[in-house]
Amino acid sequence: MARQSGIIKLKGTIGDITFYKSKDGYLARQKGGVDKERFHNDPKFQRTRENAAEFARAGKASKALCTAIRPVLNKTQDSRMISRLVKSMMQVIKADQVSNRGLRNVLDGELILLQGFDFNGNARLSATVYAPYTTTIGRATGVLEVNVASFVPDSQIVAPGGTTHFRLISAGVEVDFENENFALAQSSSAEIAFDNTASGAISLSNDIGVEESTKPLFLVFGIEFLQQVNGTFYALNNGAYNALSLVLVDTGV
């Protein structure tokens, strides 16, 4: 991989060189790779095939989780979130102590390793919200909750400049990774003024409508920063400072 220099930047393919734009700027790389038939049949590529199969499962599982929480994820993710999540999902798969290499999967792995994952790497929840809170997943009832104790916003919330208000958000979701189905419930607080007035206790309850679930359950919690102008609330900086974290995982095992 090489970085393009000069005034004119290229995109496309010339001969065996492909020119393209990435997050890291304009790059160039040489075309290449292994013959498809050889890749699928040559014993020398057995480990590569196994790794590719597990990476594909990690990507599929990551997509299923993101799709499930999309309504709360839209304004709370960084540009590299997917790659970070796939990397974490690979750790889940590698923790599978049951399946043979190449057949390892998320359900036999350790989904608990996803707990604490921040969807916005530029705004970690633990460095943004210092208000005390507790989390619970009621598998029998299908209710996933975040309960926040009373707090003082300007001393327990780290807000970007221009913030006048914020809201706390949450979602509970059941994910069927095998069939790529999900059941979602979400909740949010009212708009809270960013000042030195103590808030009341806040309960964010998410009833997914599935009792005695046998699928993995996930609880996310976050914050959205707002600016009030003439009585209307606007997202601040397009959500660049919003935080959202996977605060609790229940695998059902």
Q: 73 and 16 in one domain? A: no
Q: 116 and 203 in one domain? A: yes
Q: 111 and 5 in one domain? A: no
Q: 129 and 8 in one domain? A: no
Region of poorest pLDDT, from 33-47, 112-126, 149-163? 33-47
Q: 240 and 132 in one domain? A: yes
39 domain residue, yes or no: no
- Of the candidates 199, 242, 245, the residue with the CA atom closest to the CA atom of residue 223: 242
Q: 50 and 8 in one domain? A: no
Q: With cut-offs at 50, 70 and 90, classify the pLDDT of residue 238.
A: confident
Q: 130 and 7 in one domain? A: no
59 domain residue, yes or no: yes
Q: 17 and 102 in one domain? A: no
Q: 124 and 96 in one domain? A: yes
* Alpha-carbon span 236 to 253, nearest angstrom: 40
- pTM of the complete model: 0.83
Q: 79 and 204 in one domain? A: yes
Helix 46-68 vs helix 81-94: angle between axes, to the nearest 10 degrees?
120
Summarised one tens digit per residue, pLDDT across range 36-45 is 665 555 556 6
Domain count, the chain: 2
Residues 6+ apart with CB under 8 A from 239: 74, 75, 76, 224, 225
- Who wins on pLDDT, 172 or 21? 172
Summarised one tens digit per residue, pLDDT across range 52-73 is 889 999 999 999 999 999 999 9
Percentage helix, strand, coil for the chain under 3-state DSSP, each rounded to 5: 25, 35, 40
38 domain residue, yes or no: no
Q: With cut-offs at 50, 70 and 90, classify the pLDDT of residue 12.
A: low
Q: What is the pLDDT of residue 11?
A: 57
Q: What is the pLDDT of residue 13?
A: 67
189 within 8 A of 73, measured Cβ to Cβ: no
203 domain residue, yes or no: yes
Q: 27 and 48 in one domain? A: no
Beta strands 17-22; 165-176: pairing state: unpaired
Q: What is the pLDDT of residue 34?
A: 57
Residue-number span of the structural domain to which 15 is assigned: 1-32
138 within 8 A of 196, measured Cβ to Cβ: no
85 domain residue, yes or no: yes
149 domain residue, yes or no: yes
57 domain residue, yes or no: yes
Summarised one tens digit per residue, pLDDT across range 167-224 is 999 999 999 999 999 999 999 999 999 999 999 999 999 999 999 999 999 999 999 9
Q: 190 and 88 in one domain? A: yes
From residue 47, alpha-carbon distances to 53, 87, 98, 219 in Å are 10, 18, 18, 35
37 domain residue, yes or no: no
Coil, strand, or helix at residue 59? Answer: helix
Say what percent of the chain tops pLDDT 70: 83
Average pLDDT over every residue of 70-84? 91
